[in-house]
Amino acid sequence: MTEETTIPDDEASANDATFQEAQRRSDATWVKLRAGETKGFRVLTGDRPTGALHVGHLFGTLQNRVRIQNLGVETYIVIADYQVLTDRDTADAIEDNVRDVMLDYLAAGLDPKRSTIFPHSHVPELNQLLLAFLPLVSMPELDRNPTVKEEIKSANLRTVNAAMYVYPLHQAADILFCKGNLVPVGKDQLPHLELSRKVARRFNERFKTEVFPAVNALLSDIPLVLGLDGQKMSKSRGNAVLLKHTAEETAKLIKGAKTDSDRNITYDPGNRPEVSNLLRLIAACTDDTPEAVAARIGDGGGGKLKSTLTEALNAYLAPMRVRRKEYEGAPEVLRGILRDGIVKAREVGEKTLREVRTAMNMGFGL
């Protein structure tokens, strides 16, 4: 490893301890939720609207959100449109991207009657919390955040703007404006969440209040879904099956997927990453194991593997495509869902901001 990527032993141990504790809390929470004990929990999750979502999003996060929603947990889903501007110049596409994300949410099964969906640019109360949080975090803490470092690296940024630098604090505002206490994340996002936990705790300690709850991660066994070329799934790489793709477009993309020369299909992620990834996708669509799928295909080779994936994925996405088409033809319904989400988010945010101002002795004139 290079000096830049080496993690000191004490830091690695601390990170591992943080993950173990987060896992323990998450496991205990899942037991309660599955038993129907949802009272007192409020989930906040969301996405940056960089374009239409793909099957990696579906199997990695969307399905889990629908599961949480259907368990009866109060759920807020933020479309983090301001945060798109931290690392790319795509302001002209934001409105279309928000529409695409909304359509994908609804097609996947998110129900606006049970989940509050809103863009945070339209909730000034949320964004004002950022000012209250800035004095609670040091510059070295922002410097050390590994998630921001990865975002900067992946976007190939030579100059880091201030919005990117305080991105973790803006995310804390997303979570805490509604007093979210559960955030579905993967292990790699725990540093972001740990900062939100610190902000909540430090605010309460500094102003001798209990405005903000403890924020906990809700971890799940998110399947590793790579692109059709075995690399990270990304629209920019052209290796992603978008949820809005037609059956024909999906078949064409899968036909070009990367496999290998061994006709005997086996699940071996270490030695056959591309083949194993396609097997995982089939398994995600069929509630089977990758090993069982591989055994069925046997020596059918890459052609049989791809045709099996095409059939399984198109069958799985078929009802979502129907729902997406229905909402595409009802733009007023989409706007109404966003308006309702904004109204509810602002009501909740206004109440939280009032409590924050009072705690900071800034409630005069209200």
Is the distance from CB of 295 to CB of 305 less than 8 angstroms?
Answer: no
Closest CA to 274 of 286, 287, 284, 261: 261
Q: Are residues 150 and 291 in the same domain?
A: no
2 pLDDT tier (thresholds 50, 70, 90):
very low
Q: Are residues 169 and 253 in the same domain?
A: no
Dist. CA 31–CA 153, nearest whole Å: 37
| CA contacts within 13 A on the Cβ side of 181 | 14
Q: Are residues 335 and 322 in the same domain?
A: no
Q: Are residues 100 and 208 in the same domain?
A: yes
Task: Note the helical H segments in the chain.
Answer: 9-34, 55-57, 63-70, 94-108, 124-133, 139-144, 146-154, 162-165, 167-176, 190-206, 247-255, 273-286, 290-297, 301-328, 331-359
Q: Are residues 47 and 103 in the same domain?
A: yes
Q: Are residues 188 and 293 in the same domain?
A: no
Edge to edge, the sheet with strand 216-218 lists: 115-119, 74-79, 42-47, 182-184, 216-218
Greater confidence (356 vs 157) lies with 356
Dist. CA 354–CA 366, nearest whole Å: 9
What single-letter DSSP state applies at residue 219? -
Convert the pLDDT of each residue in 322-334 to its tens digit: 999 999 999 999 9
Greater confidence (241 vs 145) lies with 241
Dist. CA 208–CA 360, nearest whole Å: 10
Helix, strand, or coil (residue 331): helix
Q: Are residues 60 and 128 in the same domain?
A: yes
10 pLDDT tier (thresholds 50, 70, 90):
low
How would DSSP label each residue in 271-286? Answer: T-HHHHHHHHHHHHHH
How many domains, in total, are found in the chain? 2
Distances (CA, A) of 332 to 244, 296, 336, 341: 20, 46, 6, 14
Q: Are residues 131 and 273 in the same domain?
A: no
What are 201's two structure tokens? Answer: 């705790």
- Print the domain residue range for 335: 9-222+331-359
CATH number at residue 180: 3.40.50.620
Is the distance from CB of 53 to CB of 240 less than 8 angstroms?
Answer: no
Q: Are residues 255 and 125 in the same domain?
A: no
Q: Are residues 78 and 209 in the same domain?
A: yes
Asked if the structure places residue 4 within a domain, the reply is no
4 pLDDT tier (thresholds 50, 70, 90):
very low
Per-residue model confidence (pLDDT) at position 181: 96
Convert the pLDDT of each residue in 87-133 to its tens digit: 766 778 899 999 999 999 999 999 999 999 999 999 999 999 999 99
Q: Are residues 61 and 77 in the same domain?
A: yes
